[in-house]
């Protein structure tokens, strides 16, 4: 009698556990987005990460939008040890030439794509005059890094006059322009409206845009990141992707792909909810311009030590963090390969 009761309890427990497994995110869809139209952008640690991806995979990346980031391999291209160089890479004047030389060295070792590819890219840079987290001197060094990489002046836009704090700049969501606080999304007035940073990034990389969608044709969907990124990457179990209805209908053919890297503390599980993947404003422009938007996620963690939920730009996942074999970079690239069918 007791044994029968035990098995009944076991069966009930198993039955109750099924919805938990069923609620796991689906796999990232296998699509055929245009591999000649891949680009990236990001804020803060996500901006450093966007630079790393842009440089490491420069042969397949056509442009980048960097909001409050710094030069490639900044934490190791400056000569004073990691604790000091992290401060230099956020508040000081990083050595842009040393960053470029380190990129050349990694390319010579076949750890990243040839640096000559960078010269072909379209680059958008943004630094607010009220940013107290990543100072403009750091972004100035990033501009100099791209100049060292022979990006023509005509292909590089540097916005550095807005009285903005440390944030993505959304046309219709967030704090006042000069704020440096959660959710690190601000609104800034310009002329008779608000500055639309996603539009500016897409326009710089992809050229003139169709008007943004007033009503989205789809919604962002969660996908399982664990098949790309193990626990030692610090990445979340779920990422998000926005696939316009037009791109769903064609399985991605003819659609561009843009990767958005959130900043520290901006992942869903870090408390930001859907702020980045739904409210910054990328999706409205993506919807009407056939752009798939990938929003990978990294969480706060104790192992690896990442208490602020930042992307790895100083080596907490290993000393190869800035090259193609790095745990996070290789995971993101695998997602890009899935979405482009390469």
Residues tagged active-site:
44, 131, 166
Contacts of 323 by beta carbon, 8 Å cutoff, 6+ apart: 56, 106, 111, 112, 329
Is 317:282 a contact under the CB 8 Å cutoff? no
Q: Find out whether 166 and 134 touch, Cβ atoms under 8 Å.
A: yes
What residues pair up with 242 in beta bridges, in sequence order? 293
* 52 close to 314: Cβ distance less than 8 angstroms: no
Strand, helix or coil for residue 273: coil
**Coil vs helix vs strand at 142:** helix
Strand partners, 223: 26, 239
CA distances from 324 to 52, 53, 55, 56, 180 (A): 9, 8, 10, 6, 32
CA angle 298, 88, 132 (to 5 degrees): 70
Q: How far is CA 32 from CA 13, 135, 228, 255, in A?
A: 42, 39, 18, 8
Q: Do 60 and 334 contact (CB within 8 A), yes or no?
A: no
Tokens 């990445």 locate to 235
Rounded-to-integer distance, Cα 193 and Cα 207, Å: 22
SS3 annotation, 275-331:
HHHHHCCHHHHHHHCCEEEEECCECCECCCCECCCCCCCCCCCCCCCCCCCCHHHHH
């Amino acid at each position: 009698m007791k044994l029968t009761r035990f098995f009944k309890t076991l069966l009930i427990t198993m039955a109750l556990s099924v919805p938990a497994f069923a609620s796991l995110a689906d796999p990232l869809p296998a699509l055929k987005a245009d591999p000649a139209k891949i680009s990236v952008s990001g804020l803060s640690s996500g901006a450093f990460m966007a630079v790393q991806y842009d440089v490491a995979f420069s042969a397949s990346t056509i442009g980048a939008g960097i909001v409050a980031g710094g030069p490639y391999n900044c934490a190791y291209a400056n000569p004073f040890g990691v604790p000091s160089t992290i401060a230099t890479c956020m508040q000081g004047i990083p050595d842009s030439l040393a960053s470029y030389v380190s990129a050349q060295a990694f390319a010579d070792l076949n750890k990243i794509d040839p640096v000559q590819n960078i010269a072909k890219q379209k680059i958008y840079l943004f630094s607010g005059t009220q940013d107290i987290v990543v100072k403009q001197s750091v972004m100035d060094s990033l501009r100099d890094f791209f100049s060292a990489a022979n990006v023509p002046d005509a292909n590089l836009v540097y916005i550095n006059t807005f009285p903005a704090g440390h944030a993505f700049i959304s046309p219709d969501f967030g704090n006042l322009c000069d704020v440096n606080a959660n959710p690190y999304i601000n609104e800034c007035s310009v002329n008779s409206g608000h500055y639309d940073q996603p539009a500016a990034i897409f326009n710089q990389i992809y050229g003139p845009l169709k008007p943004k969608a007033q009503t989205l044709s789809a919604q962002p969907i969660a996908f399982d990141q664990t098949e790309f990124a193990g626990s030692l990457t610090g990445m979340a179990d779920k990422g998000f992707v926005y696939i316009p209805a037009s791109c769903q209908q064609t399985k991605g053919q003819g659609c561009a792909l843009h990767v958005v890297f959130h900043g520290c503390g901006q992942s869903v599980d870090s408390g930001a909810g859907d702020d980045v993947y739904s409210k910054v404003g990328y999706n409205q422009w993506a919807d009407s311009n056939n752009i798939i938007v990938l929003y990978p996620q990294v969480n706060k963690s104790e192992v690896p030590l990442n208490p602020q939920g930042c992307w790895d730009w100083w080596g907490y996942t290993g000393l190869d963090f800035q090259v193609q074999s790095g745990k996070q970079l290789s995971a993101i690239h695998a997602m890009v390969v899935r979405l482009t069918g390469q």
